[in-house]
Structure 1
Amino acid sequence: MKLSVLDQSPILTGMSPIDAFQQTTELVQHVDLLGYHRYWVSEHHSTKSLAGSAPEILTAHLAAHTKSIRVGTGGVLLPHYSAYKVAESFRVLDTLYPGRIDLGVGRAPGGMPNVNRALNDGGAPNVEHYPQQVKELMAYLHGHDPYDMNVYATPLAETTPSIWMLGSSGTSARLAADVGASYSFAHFINGYGGTRAMSRYQDHFQPSMQQEKPQGNVSIFVVCSETEEKAEYLASSLDLAILKIEQGGNRDGFPTPDEASQYPYSIFEKERVRENRSRMVVGDPKQVKEKIEHLARAYNVNEVIVNTIVSPFEERLKSYELLAKEFELDTRSYEA
């Protein structure tokens, strides 16, 4: 089974956006050597806890600092942008790094409601146009001229970035099937209904100019440590961070486990933490492997994307390292 990484470039408590991007660079190099398959970065706007607001730029940086791992977006929020411009940006990336670029797209707002207005000149994105945008994007990426205007997305090269449609519902799954794109379910956002969505995608998939068969994966929060007790301690900071996000909090940085241990949870908040554990896998390496393999079987996929946010950063590196060892990934080595 393949393991991959989703990195939201979290800003840990006491750190700056510069630190977050330095950690993202160190992490992608780390997992490249550990044998992870792909590395996606996300798009979030107007937040003090996540640094990644321009994933296409970050993708270029990460591709330049790695050798083999696929890199891409998880994902570009397409309704805010021109499909033609996105196609050209990723044609440039794929020409620079042939066969290593993924283009994940989604239709979420990427932030609070006013973000939509800021990204759309004071208006709102036309999300109803999203299915057509995806079709236009695929056509431009594959060298076609969808409106017969003698307009092509350049540069034209031998390889083409793969479109992955990201979603957390059955609606996004059916759209991915209809347009013939790959599909990634965000289990770390919605811990329920994902297996039905993936089945819907696989059952209704229509071959396209991109691919003949369905290709899916699932992403989930993971915290792995040497012992279950330590993993639970580290995961407590993610429990608190998710809770605060749900409550509309806009704090500076992700909390530490010590902060989480001192937080006075109400009865209702404790129940929310318990519910949110459906979006997470926590434990020692053996426990985590068993849970990830069970998740992959339930989704009928052979790739799981791991999103690990823990503090300090060294424990984040260690979590991915323990996973790679437990799954016996094919490690890589490069000459300096």
Structure 2
Amino acid sequence: MVRLSILDQSPIAAGVDARTAVMQTAELAVKAEQLGYHRFWVSEHHDAGRVAGSTPEVLLAHIGEKTKKIRIGSGGVMLPHYSSYKVAENFKMLEALYPNRIDLGLGRAAGGNPIATMALQGSSVGNRGSYPEQIEDLKGYFTSLSSDHRYYGITATPNVDTMPQLWLLGSSGGSAQIAAEKGTAFTFAHFINGDGGEDVVKAYRNQFQPSAFYEKPEANVAIHLICADTDEEANQRATSLDLSLLMLQKGKRSLEIPTIEYAKSYPYTAHDLMQIRENRKRMIVGGPDKVKEEIEELANKYETDEVMVITITHDYSHRIRSFELLAEMFNLVKS
């Protein structure tokens, strides 16, 4: 049986403000728990007009208070911007508040434009070591630092008796290799790269080295998904995402998620239409039967029992309906 999880980016639809987008994410987390989803992750993006999620740690504290048992986490914290020590303390605090429910998902992408990256890192650019070194430091703060570590003797607080699940997120073989070497779980971002992910996950499993976090490899796959009562309705609702991704690829990060009407009337070039067809490799779109078949096929290809979905539509009610249909199709255990 396929487990279903959700990654939400707090999309800002045209005509909706950022505060509403964040509140919708919190409401979706409550709904996801009621429907029986396994985990609910929130993302980190900066200086982006189309999504409001910039600080997963803060949003997770709010979501944790509104939910009771669903796993909640970051998808993901962009570690190169920050001190591993502070990230460990943030997530230890979340683990203290909501024990055995926290996932720390990590990424190494910028999550914004170059100026935003400079503003985030300030004068400390290049002072934190490489990404693999940061992950090794982070692991030490959750377990124990080796006696030869430059910060040996310090403790990341609060010092609690449980720790988050540690995940690395990636859309290429590089992040998968690091996840395997460091003994963390791995999420392949099929919603970013629709080609070659199966081989990347296979290599991760083959190269995996056990750690204090995992004795054996654990992987899932994340994909854009829009489900509606019919294939026709789903494809119509997906036009907003089609255009949003196209604009993002054209460097227009500040645009909100467009309405279906605007997306349908947009003057697409032949190249635009070709790009949209290519982007559909990163999505599952359709009615219940089509979506269920394609999710199961995706899970089989990746040899995983967990698929994480990202659902972005202009109309909030369409996102809710998509999650409801998925839960019904896979007989998720409702609370």
* Both structures adopt the same fold (TM-score exceeding 0.5): yes
Matched, 1:298 2:288: no
1:270 is aligned, of 268, 273, 289, to: 273
1:282 is aligned, of 276, 285, 289, to: 285
User: 1:17 maps to which residue?
Assistant: 18
Counterpart CA distance in 1 for 2:258 and 2:128 is: 34
User: 1:51 maps to which residue?
Assistant: 52
Map 1:195-206 to 2 at 5 A: 195-206=198-209
**Do the aligned residues in 2 keep the contact of 1:169 with 1:197 (CA within 8 Å)?**
yes
Counterpart CA distance in 1 for 2:193 and 2:331 is: 29
Q: Counterpart of 1:183 in 2: which secondary structure?
A: strand
Which consecutive aligned stretches of 4+ in structure 1 deviate over 6 angstroms post-superposition?
none
Map 1:1-336 to 2 at 5 A: 1-121=2-122, 124-125=125-126, 129-144=130-145, 146-147=149-150, 149-332=152-335
Q: Counterpart of 2:261 in 1: which secondary structure?
A: helix
Q: One-letter code of the match for 1:43? A: E
Q: One-letter code of the match for 1:170? A: G
Change in Cα spacing, 1:241 to 1:148, as seen in structure 2 (3 Å) is closer
Deviation, 1:247, is 0.3
Deviation, 1:142, is 2.0
Q: Counterpart of 1:116 in 2: which secondary structure?
A: helix
Deviation, 1:252, is 3.7
Deviation, 1:127, is 8.3
Deviation, 1:193, is 1.2
For residues 17-41 of structure 1, give each alpha carbon's deviation from its aligned partner in whole angstroms, at most 9, with x where no partner exists: 1110111111111111000000111
Counterpart CA distance in 2 for 1:3 and 1:127 is: 35
Change in Cα spacing, 1:233 to 1:148, as seen in structure 2 (3 Å) is closer
Deviation, 1:251, is 3.7
Range that drifts further, 139-148 or 16-25: 139-148
Q: One-letter code of the match for 1:27? A: L
Q: One-letter code of the match for 2:27? A: E
**Do the aligned residues in 2 keep the contact of 1:164 with 1:183 (CA within 8 Å)?**
yes
**Do the aligned residues in 1 keep the contact of 2:34 with 2:334 (CA within 8 Å)?**
yes
Q: One-letter code of the match for 2:90? A: S
**Do the aligned residues in 1 keep the contact of 2:83 with 2:128 (CA within 8 Å)?**
no
Counterpart CA distance in 1 for 2:128 and 2:311 is: 30
**Do the aligned residues in 1 keep the contact of 2:132 with 2:178 (CA within 8 Å)?**
yes
**Do the aligned residues in 1 keep the contact of 2:128 with 2:134 (CA within 8 Å)?**
no
Deviation, 1:143, is 4.2
Counterpart CA distance in 2 for 1:113 and 1:122 is: 14
**Percentage of identical aligned residues:** 48
| TM superposition score normalised by structure 1 | 0.96
**Do the aligned residues in 2 keep the contact of 1:6 with 1:305 (CA within 8 Å)?**
yes
Deviation, 1:122, is 5.1
Change in Cα spacing, 1:302 to 1:29, as seen in structure 2 (3 Å) is same
Counterpart CA distance in 2 for 1:312 and 1:11 is: 10
For residues 16-71 of structure 1, give each alpha carbon's deviation from its aligned partner in whole angstroms, at most 9, with x where no partner exists: 01110111111111111000000111110011111011111111111111111100
| TM superposition score normalised by structure 2 | 0.97
Counterpart CA distance in 2 for 1:112 and 1:148 is: 32
Deviation, 1:250, is 3.0
For residues 161-191 of structure 1, give each alpha carbon's deviation from its aligned partner in whole angstroms, at most 9, with x where no partner exists: 1110000000110110000000000000010
Q: One-letter code of the match for 1:282? A: V
Change in Cα spacing, 1:150 to 1:251, as seen in structure 2 (3 Å) is closer
Counterpart CA distance in 2 for 1:24 and 1:107 is: 23
| RMSD value, Cα | 1.3
Q: One-letter code of the match for 1:227? A: T
For residues 221-261 of structure 1, give each alpha carbon's deviation from its aligned partner in whole angstroms, at most 9, with x where no partner exists: 00000000000000011000000000001344100111111
Equivalenced residue count is 332
Q: Counterpart of 1:120 in 2: which secondary structure?
A: helix
**Do the aligned residues in 2 keep the contact of 1:236 with 1:260 (CA within 8 Å)?**
yes
**Do the aligned residues in 2 keep the contact of 1:238 with 1:310 (CA within 8 Å)?**
yes
Counterpart CA distance in 2 for 1:72 and 1:290 is: 27
Counterpart CA distance in 2 for 1:153 and 1:260 is: 48
